[in-house]
Amino acid sequence: MSDFVDIGWAWYAGGITAAGLLFCVFILLVASKRKVMANDNTTGHVWDEDLRELNNPLPRWWMWLFVITLFFAAVYLALYPGLGAVPGSFKWSSTGQWQTEQDKAHATMAPVYAKFSAMPAAELAKNAQAMGIGERLFINNCAQCHGSDAHGSKGFPNLTDSDWLGGNGAAYIEKTVTAGRIGMMPPMAAALGSADDVKNVANYVLSLAGSAHNGLAAQLGKPKFVVCAACHGADGRGNQALGAPNLTDKVWLHGWGEAAVIAMVNQGKTNVMPKFEGRLSAEQIHVLAAYVWSLSQVTAVAVQ
């Protein structure tokens, strides 16, 4: 609790904790002054004819348990974070504990990764231990977006095919995992002209991949495609240097069909692949990249 992003929340949380403890002390003091009365100490409430509610003080053993609880709370708050931004004398934090556990895990696995760091992807792909580690790294860090089978989904690339944006090969994968990647398709409706022009270009794009389309609209859209050719090329086969996808291979990352293409042209799209530098070590990324690379190889890699 000591790493609040705003000091106001720290005061808020710490104030509630302190107020709760002070209220408990107040209640304890009030209750400690009450004594058992000699006469009939009832509240006047009677149930089932003879069941009466008494107004006696708490038993002493119960009150001492209350005192012990308050003492434990005070000691805990002195040692650990609990009063807003006050870190406590032990300076403990969940972030610090996580980092300690990560450092310990990395130190334990360092000898294992050391023998993999100098091995190229093609060699790692044949190593059963390396691929087992790579698969676990993938499941823990990549499967949330790309799926446990790496086939991806709408908006998340399939890592098992040969369609790569921005580059290919194990070195490119390692670079992307390390530094992340941002892919952007700007809105192009204004550059194309009218809504009919956008629709016509969308049909021309569909025709490039052999998808269902309106032939007449595709013919009308072909001259306007020159606006798109700056990134995707005159033949629509894309440009890896720019990260512009191939429009002729029937691989549709954000949906296919006329409506999907029109929406992309009108609205554009920005996709972000987060960087894992700092979250994973360079050795882990090297093994992970080799595993991902192996998934897209047409020729099966014989694991030894």
**Domains held by the chain: number:** 3
Q: Tell whether 94 is covered by a domain.
A: no
Residues 173 and 286 in one domain: yes
Please give the single-letter amino acid code of residue 201.
V
pLDDT at 302 over 80: no
Categorize the per-residue pLDDT at 259 as very low, low, confident or very high, splitting at 50, 70 and 90.
very high
**Listed range (25-34, 126-135, 217-226) with the worst mean pLDDT:** 25-34
pLDDT value at position 10?
82
Residue 246 phi/psi, 5° resolution? -75, 125
Q: Tell whether 91 is covered by a domain.
A: no
pLDDT value at position 72?
95
Residues 123 and 227 in one domain: no
pLDDT value at position 276?
95
Residues 50 and 176 in one domain: no
pLDDT value at position 4?
58
CB atoms within 10 A of CB 244: 21
Q: Tell whether 95 is covered by a domain.
A: no
Q: Which of 245, 239, 203 is nearest to 223 (CA)?
A: 203
Residue 272 phi/psi, 5° resolution? -125, 125
pTM beyond cutoff 0.85 = no
Residues 228 and 176 in one domain: no
Residues 139 and 190 in one domain: no
Categorize the per-residue pLDDT at 298 as very low, low, confident or very high, splitting at 50, 70 and 90.
low
- CATH number of the domain where residue 155 is located: 1.10.760.10
Domain that holds residue 141: 101-180+274-295
pLDDT at 39 over 70: no
Residues 15 and 31 in one domain: yes
Residues 112 and 138 in one domain: yes
Long-range contact pairs involving 67-76 (C-beta distance under 8 Å, separation at least 24) = 67/28, 70/21, 70/24, 70/25, 70/28, 73/21, 74/21
Q: Which residues are 277's β-sheet partners? A: 280
Residues 201 and 269 in one domain: yes
pLDDT value at position 84?
81
Categorize the per-residue pLDDT at 63 as very low, low, confident or very high, splitting at 50, 70 and 90.
confident
User: Which tens digits make up the pLDDT trace of 208-240?
Assistant: 999 999 999 999 999 999 999 999 999 999 998
Q: Tell whether 90 is covered by a domain.
A: no
Q: Tell whether 53 is covered by a domain.
A: yes
Give the Cα separation of 93 and 100 in Å (integer).
Answer: 11
For the chain, give the number of residues: 304
Contact 218, 236 (CB under 8 A): no
pLDDT value at position 38?
62
Query: Average of pLDDT values for 49-72?
Result: 85
pLDDT at 26 over 60: yes
Residues 19 and 164 in one domain: no
pLDDT value at position 213?
93
Residues 266 and 291 in one domain: no
Q: Tell whether 17 is covered by a domain.
A: yes
pLDDT value at position 200?
95
% of the chain with per-residue pLDDT over 70? 94
Residues 153 and 189 in one domain: no
Q: Tell whether 163 is covered by a domain.
A: yes
Residues 146 and 280 in one domain: yes
Distances (CA, A) of 221 to 199, 230, 263, 267: 8, 16, 16, 18
Q: Tell whether 96 is covered by a domain.
A: no
Instruction: Using the CB atoms, write b or e for 49-63: b if 16+ within 10 Å.
Output: eeeeeeeebeeeeee
Lookup result for tokens 């029937």? 250
% of the chain with per-residue pLDDT over 90? 56
User: Which tens digits make up the pLDDT trace of 147-178?
Assistant: 999 999 988 999 999 888 888 899 999 999 99
